Homo-oligomer: A and B are copies of this chain.
Amino acid sequence: MTDIRYPCLLFIGDVGDQIGAKTACAIAHWWPDRCVGQLRLTGCRADLGIRDLTVREAVAAGARTMIIGTVNVGGNLPEHWHATILEALEVGMDVACGLHARLSEIPAVEAAAQRLGRQLFDVRHQPRTFGCGTGVKRSGKRLLAVGTDCSSGKMYTALSIHKAMVARGIKADFRATGQTGILIAGSGVCVDAVVSDFVSGAAEHLTPANDPDHWDVIEGQGSLFHPSASGVTLGLTHGSQPDALVLCHEPTRTRMRGLPDQPLPGLRECLELNLMTARLTNKHVRCVGVSMNTSGLTEEASSDYLRRTEQELGVPCVDPIRTGVSRILDHLLHLLG
């Protein structure tokens, strides 16, 4: 995929609450200097806390792409948003979208993009194909965020570690594997949309050979313990051949996401299976830390939980928001730096 061009205008339509603008929130959080403003339609109940702009004002402010930053069940693109999308193309922007619905399948939008020479980025549906993975060792270093479950903080953790690495002057790239990650990073591969035979090949393509001291910080997907997503997780692990794993977990969750009958795995059990499988393509893989989303716990319960988990597993255990990830980075540099 061609990379998405920044800065961008974040379009959040008329979503009914802040959750509906989740993708835009994440982009504004991670790359505030890549966002010139937000575009909200009448009735919108979300607010990214940045200035409101029309498409014309956004282009005048330098925006090169309008990103549809919304999520909804079904992943559709409401018809009354089409006019704004067409307007964005007309005034000079590309448009990017991470929903299931495709911009390129809206005839007027596709025709306008063709006529005006603009790019449409349907990041969930990349046309390119990949080869099979080979498992052959590549130069450079790789960290993969894995999880006890889907939606357990893997993207947030990988972005936090990438940011901390860059702040310390370490050569690093964040490698996005899901639609929100791709919209934040501007490139990546939506691995769960790749034909199953080519998932590890896609992961190899995403994290190519690099300088020996360069880190790819890879957003994980799913969980080896999630019956819907495990195949994607394993293919991504084998293709990524990580040197370092960070285990992500949401401590108040008791059942796998979307599956009320499926309990969460234990942290140690989860870590051991992840290490065991990752060894296939990197014998020296290590766990360098555990990253928790403890937002559901009080400050005291969170500290207590992090401390106990750290004692139990013997690696730094952090909450990226409450404690930051620097202790994971220290440990990683100590082991693998």
Q: Which residues of A contact B (CB under 8 A)?
A: 132-136, 191-197, 199-201, 224-225, 227-236, 238-239, 259, 261-262, 273, 276-277, 280-281
Q: How far is the CA of A323 from the CA of B69 in the complex (A)?
A: 62
A227, B135: Cβ atoms under 8 Å? Answer: yes
Given A228-B132, A238-B231, A259-B134: A197 and B201 interface contact (C-beta under 8 Å): no
Question: Could you say which of B201, B230, B235 contacts A280, with CB atoms under 8 Å apart?
Answer: B230
A135, B259: Cβ atoms under 8 Å? Answer: yes
The copy count of this chain in the complex is 2
Given A224-B277, A238-B227, A239-B227: A232 and B197 interface contact (C-beta under 8 Å): yes
B227, A280: Cβ atoms under 8 Å? Answer: yes
CB<8 Å pairs between A and B, sample of 6: A135-B262, A136-B259, A136-B261, A193-B195, A200-B228, A230-B235
| Neighbouring B residues of A262 by C-beta, 8 Å | 135
Q: How far is the CA of A191 from the CA of B235 in the complex (A)?
A: 14
Given A231-B231, A261-B135: A225 and B280 interface contact (C-beta under 8 Å): yes
Question: Could you say which of B192, B239, B277, B280 contacts A197, with CB atoms under 8 Å apart?
Answer: B192
A191, B196: Cβ atoms under 8 Å? Answer: yes
B231, A200: Cβ atoms under 8 Å? Answer: yes
Given A136-B261, A195-B196, A197-B192: A235 and B231 interface contact (C-beta under 8 Å): yes
| Neighbouring B residues of A273 by C-beta, 8 Å | 276-277
Chain B: CB-nearest residue to A192: B197
Chain B: CB-nearest residue to A225: B280
B135, A235: Cβ atoms under 8 Å? Answer: no
A133, B196: Cβ atoms under 8 Å? Answer: no
B228, A133: Cβ atoms under 8 Å? Answer: yes
Question: Could you say which of B134, B228, B233 contacts A227, with CB atoms under 8 Å apart?
Answer: B134
**Distance to closest chain B CB from A274 (angstroms):** 12
| Neighbouring B residues of A238 by C-beta, 8 Å | 227, 230-231
**Centre residue among A192, A195, A197, A236 by max chain B CB count within 10 A:** A197
Other A-B pairs beyond A230-B234, A231-B236, A232-B235, 17, CB < 8 Å: A132-B229, A134-B227, A134-B228, A192-B195, A192-B196, A192-B197, A193-B197, A194-B195, A195-B196, A196-B196, A200-B231, A227-B280, A230-B235, A230-B277, A231-B233, A234-B234, A273-B277
Q: How far is the CA of A288 from the CA of B133 in the complex (A)?
A: 31
A235, B196: Cβ atoms under 8 Å? Answer: yes
**Distance to closest chain B CB from A125 (angstroms):** 10
